């Protein structure tokens, strides 16, 4: 017993908390995932073989990894790349270009990013190219050291692949797949997407150059596995310097995951998104509450973090509206109820608001029409309402058709939480029809 005690090192609580923050923040911020995906051996083997043929033998390929969010598409690709780059020959030669449809929103931005990642800014310099294809071919030619056998293979990874299909003429996809099909440079194009109908989005000329290889993944994650992963994400490793603190921390995490209120929060999170990126955002908020005075994560911390993550941005905007703007939102709600969601205009909203004033005989809400119009415009700027057809410029502003971008529940919640909301306004909002 004394020997084991002698081996244990005890650190001040402040240093332990600093270490906890450092370890877990690194885990959440770098989106650390399991090194090897389970139950994906055949997909792993298939993808590894494809990429090895490009990296080692100079054979061009294209493949799509298709599956729902949190199915493990990125994890599968990363594990294959990790295994592939362990081979020295591959490590020296293989070039990688990572593009994301959410970031590279058009082909010009994508080409700029390809140039940056291949470190060819100096080679391109001030050169002017006639077309996208010429520019891309020039970039790939610049990588060559001699004949095809000595050309460095390039791996293009296109995350959110379906968004690239919305680029004008699908120029980027066409040229990448065209290069991968021709004998110019060894290129592998790997697309990651959630869309099962992705091939239907591709133009005929793009589809004809795609190999039609698809690797499908299905999410086998259930809530019990999800709970286990939450516990694993929050637990400290065996290598933690203070073993006693690590034991106590891991024990508190185990207790936390068994709490009924916490299970309810995590069940809602699981139902809304099984993606570990959103889970890491939630756990990061919990971790920010850990201090010397509060050296473990409590159920209340998780509940508060969940309410912040799940907060409805539009409902929060409603809390900051003026009484007039809130009245206009209620008038729109009643118009939606009466006319079954049909669009409305400012004049209709103003008439509905006047009906409320006549019933209540309250001069306190008696605003002139220009003031009401200004409030209406402010609601449009906040994007709580939007024009049905923004191209219609000739229509007078008060007769332009609009749609309410809020649902019934958001308005009801705002009325309940609105600070010092007048009783008659609340009652008007709660009533079935205006």
Indicate if 315-430 has the same CATH topology as 41-216: no
Q: What is the residue-wise DSSP string for 194-239?
A: S-TTHHHHS-HHHHHHS---EEE------HHHHHHHHHHHHSPPTT
> Which residues, including other chains, have CB under 8 Å from residue 351's CB and lie 6 or more apart?
none
The hierarchical CATH code for the domain 41-216 is 3.40.50.300
pLDDT in tens, the chain (434 residues): 444 444 566 788 888 888 888 888 888 887 665 566 667 888 989 999 999 988 888 888 999 999 888 788 888 898 899 888 888 777 778 889 999 999 998 888 888 888 888 887 776 666 656 677 777 777 777 765 544 456 788 899 999 999 999 888 888 898 888 888 876 778 899 999 999 889 998 999 999 989 889 999 887 778 888 888 888 888 888 888 888 888 999 999 999 888 898 888 888 888 877 777 788 888 888 888 888 888 888 888 888 888 877 767 777 788 888 889 989 999 999 998 888 888 899 989 988 888 888 876 555 667 888 898 999 999 998 888 988 876 555 557 777 888 888 888 788 888 888 888 888 888 888 886 54
> Which residues, including other chains, have CB under 8 Å from residue 426's CB and lie 6 or more apart?
415, 418
pTM of the model: 0.62
Residue 37 has a pLDDT of 61
Beta bridge partners of 193: 66
Pair 314, 414: CB distance under 8 Å: no
The hierarchical CATH code for the domain 315-430 is 1.10.10
- Cβ atoms within 10 A of the Cβ of 112, count? 13
Q: How far apart are CA 357 and CA 165, in angstroms?
A: 52
Closest CA to 275 of 36, 72, 35: 72
Pair 220, 184: CB distance under 8 Å: no
Q: Where are the domains of the chain?
A: 2-10+226-309, 41-216, 315-430
């Amino acid at each position: 017993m004394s020997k084991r005690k002698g081996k244990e090192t005890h650190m001040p609580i402040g240093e332990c908390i600093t270490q906890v923050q450092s370890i877990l923040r690194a885990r959440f911020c770098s989106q650390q995932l399991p090194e090897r995906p389970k139950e994906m051996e055949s997909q792993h083997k298939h993808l590894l073989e494809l990429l090895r043929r490009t990296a080692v033998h100079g054979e061009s390929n294209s493949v799509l990894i298709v599956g729902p969010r949190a199915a493990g598409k990125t994890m599968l690709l990363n594990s294959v790349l990790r295994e592939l780059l362990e081979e020295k020959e591959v490590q020296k030669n293989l070039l990688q270009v990572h593009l994301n449809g959410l970031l590279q929103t058009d082909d010009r931005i994508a080409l700029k990013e390809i140039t940056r990642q291949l470190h060819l800014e100096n080679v391109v310099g001030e050169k002017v190219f006639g077309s996208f294809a010429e520019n891309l071919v020039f970039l790939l030619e610049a990588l060559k050291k001699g004949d095809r056998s000595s050309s460095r293979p390039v791996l293009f990874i296109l995350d959110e692949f379906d968004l690239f299909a919305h680029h004008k003429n699908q120029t980027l996809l066409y040229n990448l797949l065209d290069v991968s099909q021709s004998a110019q440079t060894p290129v592998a194009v790997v697309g990651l997407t959630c869309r099962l109908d992705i091939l239907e989005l591709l133009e005929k000329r793009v589809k004809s150059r795609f190999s039609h290889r698809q690797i499908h993944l299905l999410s086998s994650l259930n809530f019990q596995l999800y709970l286990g992963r939450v516990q694993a994400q929050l637990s400290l490793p065996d290598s933690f310097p203070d073993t006693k603190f690590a034991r106590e921390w891991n024990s508190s995490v185990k207790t936390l995951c068994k709490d009924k209120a916490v299970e309810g929060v995590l069940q809602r999170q699981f139902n809304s998104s099984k993606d570990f990126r959103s889970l890491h955002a939630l756990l990061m908020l919990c971790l920010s509450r850990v201090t010397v005075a509060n050296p473990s994560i409590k159920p209340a911390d998780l509940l508060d973090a969940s309410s912040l993550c799940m907060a409805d941005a539009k409902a929060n905007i409603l809390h900051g509206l003026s009484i007039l703007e809130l009245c206009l939102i209620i008038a729109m709600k009643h118009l939606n109820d009466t006319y079954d969601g049909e669009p409305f205009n400012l004049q209709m909203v103003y008439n509905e608001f006047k009906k409320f004033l006549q019933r209540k005989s309250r001069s306190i809400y008696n605003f002139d029409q220009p003031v009401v119009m200004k409030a209406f415009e402010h609601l449009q700027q906040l994007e709580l309402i939007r024009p049905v057809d923004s191209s219609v410029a000739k229509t007078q502003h008060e007769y332009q058709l609009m749609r309410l971008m809020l649902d019934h529940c958001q308005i009801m919640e705002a009325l309940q939480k609105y600070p010092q909301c007048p009783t008659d306004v609340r009652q008007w909002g709660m009533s079935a029809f205006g």
